[in-house]
Structure 1
Amino acid sequence: MKQNILPAIKLTVVCIIFFMGIYPLFIWGIAQAAPGNGKGETIQVNGKVVGYKLIGQKFTDDKYFWSRPSAVDYNAAGSGGSNKGPTNPDYLKTVQDRIDTFLVHNPGIKKEEIPSELVTASGSGLDPDLSPAAAYVQIKRIAKTRNISEQQLNDLIAKNIQQPLLGLFGTTHVNVLQLNIQLNEIKQ
């Protein structure tokens, strides 16, 4: 029995030292090299933090680019999807309500022209990005509301398009918060 207990105690001590000391320090060290020192990349305006680069925010005012809908109302503490399948009647009603709302606020846009990401929530509920198509489809509403040219908005979106990492990993996207911050800087 002694020959089994002593190695078990030694292994326990080694595991405690490694998993409670060395490994967390190693991960912390890697995080210090990341943008934001492992605390997330913040977006600031005039020295004030207005959001995080990787966490979506709710924009529903007609003068802004709308974000992707969130099943968790953009609560980062409760990240998650709705867990409703594509044939669930409640889910279908929610999507139809989002389509109807979008069409009311964007007259002249046909239902078929609405990118699906503008009416369906992401898996995390915190998606901060839209495809360029989802941004471009909102131009007429924003131009009319802000009384600025559609060309200015086209240029703004084009300037904010981010390509996939190394041209391979991810999708072409636009960060909605950064887009709306720059939108506020356009002189009307």
Structure 2
Amino acid sequence: MADAPEVSILLLGDSDVGKSTFLSRISKGSDGHASTDAMKVLRDGDQPFVFEIKFYNRPYRFEFYDTASPQNWKMLSPKIIVLCYDISSRLSLINIQRFWSKEVKRTFSGAESSDGSDIPILLLGLKRDLRSETDLNGIIYPQEAYRIAQELRCDKYMECSAVTGELVREVFEDMCKSAAMSTTEKGGLSEGGCVVM
């Protein structure tokens, strides 16, 4: 797309929380209930994963970066950061609190988007399909994750399942809208604190 601003979106979180599966799902499309075998396999060497979309009657080129290795992302200049965790793994959410959010603050402290505001940070719960009533020990429910998102001063809390496609399109659109807003004078930060998608 001609004259489309390039907007970098950085997905961070532990290995195996579902970041690559999420990106594979959106590269395939979120309609239907296809198995993960039918999805295009995205590899780290293919990065950035590029999606060209039109929002607000303007074309955008969204470049998604997915990594669990701090050495790979500290040189990037993202417009938004998405902290990802596995809804069925309490440890992955604890690592968001104890490691990832601190690394983001340390790396991007004072970093600003093009309009001079702070970089929006979103919290994304993946593997929503694994939330079940039978295993209560490790499962994270939305109200707990939303509370943690507020404590971390995230702009939004979202969750989806890449395997079933549940809420994938909505999460993808919300991420892209936040990223598109980060290129405007208003910026991509939510007004009034953390919101739930």
Output the TM-score relative to the length of structure 1: 0.28
Q: Which protein has greater RCO, CA pairs closer than 8 Å, 6+ apart?
A: 2
More helix by share: 1
Output the TM-score relative to the length of structure 2: 0.27
More strand by share: 2
